[in-house]
Structure 1
Amino acid sequence: MSASDTPRGCPVAHHGAELTRLYGPEAATDPAAVYERLRKEHGSVAPVLLEGEVPAWLVLGYRDARRVLDNPRQFSRDARIWRDWLDGRVDEASPLIPMIGWRPDCVSQDGEPHRRLRGAVTDGLQAAAGRGIRRHVTHYANKQIDAFADAGHADLVADYAEYLPMLVLSRVLGLPEGEGRDLVESCAQVLKGGEDAVTHNARIQDILGELVVRKRSEPGGDLATALLEHRAGLDEDEIVSHLRLVLIAAHTTTSNLLARVLQLLLTDTSRLSGLISGQLNVSAVVEEVMWDSPPLAVLPARFAASDLELGGHRVQEGDLLVLGLAAGNRDPEIRPDTAVSVQGNQAHLAFSSGPHECPGQNIGQAVIEIAVDVLLHRLPGLRLAVPPEELSSTASTWESRLDRLPVEFGG
Structure 2
Amino acid sequence: MSASSDSPRGCPVAHHGAELARLYGPEAATDPAGIYERLRKEHGSVAPVLLEGEVPAWLVLGYRDARRVLDNPRQFTRDARIWRDWRDGLVEETSPLIPMLGWRPDCVSQDGEPHRRLRAAVTDGLRAAAGRGVRRHATHYANRQIDAFVDAGRADLVGDYAEYLPMLVLSRILGLPEAEGRDLVESCAQVLGGGEDAVTHDARIQEILARLVERKRSEPGGDLATALLEHHAGLDEDEIVSHLRLVLIAAHTTTSNLLARVLQLVLTETSRLAGLISGQLNVSEVVEEVMWDSPPLAVLPGRFAASDLELGGHRIQEGDLLVLGLAAGNLDPEIRPDTGGPVHGNQAHLAFSSGPHECPGQNIGQAVIQTAVDVLLHRLPGLRLAVPPEDLSSTASTWESRLDSLPVEFGV
TM-score for both structures, normalised by structure 2: 0.99
Distance across 1 between alignment mates of 2:138 and 2:398: 30
- Contiguous gaps of at least 5 residues in structure 2: none
| 1:382 shift after superposition | 0.2
Report the identity percentage: 89
Task: Look up the match of 2:406.
Answer: 405
| Distance of aligned partners of 1:14 and 1:73 in 2 relative to their CA distance in 1, 3 Å threshold | farther
Task: Look up the match of 2:137.
Answer: 136
**Residue type at the aligned position of 1:65:** A
Secondary structure of the residue aligned to 1:300 is strand
**Residue type at the aligned position of 1:392:** S
| 1:16 shift after superposition | 3.6
| Distance of aligned partners of 1:3 and 1:12 in 2 relative to their CA distance in 1, 3 Å threshold | farther
Task: Look up the match of 2:7.
Answer: 6
For residues 34-45 of structure 1, what are the structure 2 equivalents within 5 Å?
34-45=35-46
Task: Look up the match of 1:281.
Answer: 282
For residues 256-405 of structure 1, what are the structure 2 equivalents within 5 Å?
256-405=257-406
Distance across 2 between alignment mates of 1:13 and 1:28: 26
Contact 1:393–1:403 under 8 Å retained in 2: yes
Contact 2:12–2:58 under 8 Å retained in 1: no
Secondary structure of the residue aligned to 1:214 is helix
Distance across 2 between alignment mates of 1:2 and 1:262: 37
Q: What does the per-residue CA deviation read over 1:231-257, in whole Å, with 9 as the maximum and x for residues that have no partner?
A: 000000000000000000000000000
Task: Look up the match of 1:90.
Answer: 91
Task: Look up the match of 1:173.
Answer: 174
Secondary structure of the residue aligned to 1:221 is coil
| 1:340 shift after superposition | 1.5
Distance across 1 between alignment mates of 2:120 and 2:213: 19
**Residue type at the aligned position of 2:210:** G
Secondary structure of the residue aligned to 2:91 is coil
Task: Look up the match of 1:212.
Answer: 213
Secondary structure of the residue aligned to 1:321 is strand
| Distance of aligned partners of 1:227 and 1:317 in 2 relative to their CA distance in 1, 3 Å threshold | same
Q: What does the per-residue CA deviation read over 1:82-118, in whole Å, with 9 as the maximum and x for residues that have no partner?
A: 0000000000000000000000000000000000000
Contact 1:3–1:13 under 8 Å retained in 2: no
Distance across 2 between alignment mates of 1:359 and 1:15: 38
Task: Look up the match of 1:127.
Answer: 128
Q: What does the per-residue CA deviation read over 1:12-56, in whole Å, with 9 as the maximum and x for residues that have no partner?
A: 654445111000000000100000000001000000000000000
**Residue type at the aligned position of 1:298:** V
Distance across 1 between alignment mates of 2:109 and 2:161: 32
Distance across 2 between alignment mates of 1:314 and 1:15: 16
Distance across 1 between alignment mates of 2:234 and 2:341: 48
CA RMSD in angstroms comes to: 1.1
Secondary structure of the residue aligned to 2:323 is strand
Task: Look up the match of 2:113.
Answer: 112
| 1:4 shift after superposition | 2.2
Task: Look up the match of 1:81.
Answer: 82
| Distance of aligned partners of 1:2 and 1:346 in 2 relative to their CA distance in 1, 3 Å threshold | closer
- Contiguous gaps of at least 5 residues in structure 1: none
**Residue type at the aligned position of 2:180:** E
Secondary structure of the residue aligned to 2:59 is strand
Q: What does the per-residue CA deviation read over 1:265-306, in whole Å, with 9 as the maximum and x for residues that have no partner?
A: 000000000010001000000000000000000000000000
**Residue type at the aligned position of 1:362:** N
**Residue type at the aligned position of 1:257:** L
**Residue type at the aligned position of 2:370:** E
Contact 2:299–2:399 under 8 Å retained in 1: yes
**Residue type at the aligned position of 2:408:** V
| 1:180 shift after superposition | 0.2
Secondary structure of the residue aligned to 1:92 is coil
Q: What does the per-residue CA deviation read over 1:351-372, in whole Å, with 9 as the maximum and x for residues that have no partner?
A: 0000000000000000000000
Task: Look up the match of 1:147.
Answer: 148
Contact 2:60–2:323 under 8 Å retained in 1: yes
Secondary structure of the residue aligned to 1:73 is coil
Distance across 1 between alignment mates of 2:5 and 2:378: 52
**Residue type at the aligned position of 1:19:** L
| 1:339 shift after superposition | 2.4
Contact 1:13–1:19 under 8 Å retained in 2: no
**Residue type at the aligned position of 2:40:** R
Distance across 2 between alignment mates of 1:339 and 1:393: 19
Distance across 2 between alignment mates of 1:349 and 1:303: 19
| 1:338 shift after superposition | 1.2
Contact 2:76–2:305 under 8 Å retained in 1: yes
Report runs of 4+ in structure 1 exceeding 6 Å deviation: none
Contact 2:299–2:323 under 8 Å retained in 1: yes
Distance across 2 between alignment mates of 1:4 and 1:320: 21
**Residue type at the aligned position of 1:158:** G
Distance across 1 between alignment mates of 2:279 and 2:353: 30
Distance across 1 between alignment mates of 2:177 and 2:12: 50
